[in-house]
Amino acid sequence: MSNKNIFYSELYFNRLYLIVLNYCRMNDELVINFTPTGMIPTKSMTQHVPVSVAEIVEDVLRANEMGITMVHLHARDEVSGVPTYKKEVYGEIIEGIRKFAPYLVICVSLSGRNFSELDLRADPLSLEGFLKPDYGSLTLSSLNFNTTASVNSPSTVQGLAAIMKEKGIVPELEVFDIGMINYSKYLERKGLIKPPYYFNLLLGNIACAQADLLHLGIMVNDLPKDSLFSLAGIGNNQFKMNSLGIAIGAGVRVGLEDNIWFDSSRTTLATNLDLLERIHAIARVNDREIMTPQEFRSKMKLEPGNGKYGRIYD
């Protein structure tokens, strides 16, 4: 490597260090975003993935007892086990959780991997009162996975954002590369989203940003002001990105949605509690306290929970 290239490389990593250092000063408490189910894992892949309403509720409540900040829910059809958009199923899950965890921050998935129609994807957003979600996931562009695509057209993304704004539900901004962060700023200029923001940075997908410091640093550098973010890694990258997130002062997204294995050699299937126990252990080593749902609600200007959910938009 030439001296010039070494200079620019060192300059970049010094810049990354300052970005991370400034972020650490803003956010000492650890956001744990629990993702128990997802759309891909099946019982044939792992018996540990919660699929039924009762299984999902049980895993979430056990996770809440251990210590989490929020939960990112995917609903499944009770008969077939395939993902469903239906608000009735989401309502059952949310009701089961809130009977015992009325302050837990709840996000419902509005994924475009299986459904493209706006009205279907927005169905869970019509839940109200005690069943109203605080967040709805909003993937900010289309992308390819290994064998499938998640289709998120501009009209659909803007439509979901507009519905959430109308109903006082906050977008959980899911980004897989820097272009999606740029699109969040476009939505901000259009008045469809407003701070404070919560981002999930998902790294390691084959067609998107990779799970390394270069991609992460560029993404963190480009986040809008007044943003919290959690790091997620796809597959074997989950543990690496979670560990990095804890070390640098970010949050983590963790659960069987993103990785069903406990070890990188893929010899041991994980449970959700296995993954959470490991996060808690790493957090203790790094002197990171877990951010409570109540603290997150205050920081993100959400309703206080215990019967009042979402956010009041001006």
pLDDT band at residue 105 under the 50/70/90 scheme: very high
Q: What is the mean pLDDT of residues 288-311?
A: 97
Taking Cα atoms as reference points, which of 56, 49, 55 lies closest to residue 72?
Answer: 56
Distance, in Å, from the CA atom of 92 to the CA atom of 49, rounded to the nearest integer, reads 18
180 in Cβ contact with 141 (< 8 Å): yes
Q: Is residue 270 part of a domain?
A: yes
Q: Which residue has the tokens 């299984």?
A: 55
Residues 6+ apart with CB under 8 A from 284: none
Mean pLDDT for the stretch of residues 168-187: 98
Range of the domain at 250: 28-299
Residue 20 belongs to some domain of the structure: no
Per residue in 150-166, pLDDT (tens digit) is: 999 999 999 999 999 99
User: Is residue 60, in this structure, part of any structural domain at all?
Assistant: yes
Within-domain flag for 69: yes
Looking at the domain assignment, is residue 107 inside a domain? yes
The domain total for the chain is 1
Per residue in 194-246, pLDDT (tens digit) is 999 999 999 999 999 999 999 999 999 999 999 999 999 999 999 999 999 99
Within a domain: 155: yes
Whether 10 maps to a domain, the answer reads no
Residue 101: inside a domain, yes or no? Answer: yes
24 vs 129, higher pLDDT: 129
Residue 133 sits in a domain whose CATH number is 3.20.20.70
Q: Are strands 75-76 and 83-84 parallel, antiparallel or unpaired?
A: antiparallel
- Sign of the alpha-carbon torsion through 243, 289, 220, 22: negative
Spatial neighbors of 215 by CB under 8 A, at least 6 apart, are 177, 178, 203, 209
Q: Rounded to whole angstroms, how far apart are CA atoms 56 and 35?
A: 10
The pLDDT assigned to 12 comes to: 57
Q: Say yes or no to pLDDT of 2 above 90.
A: no
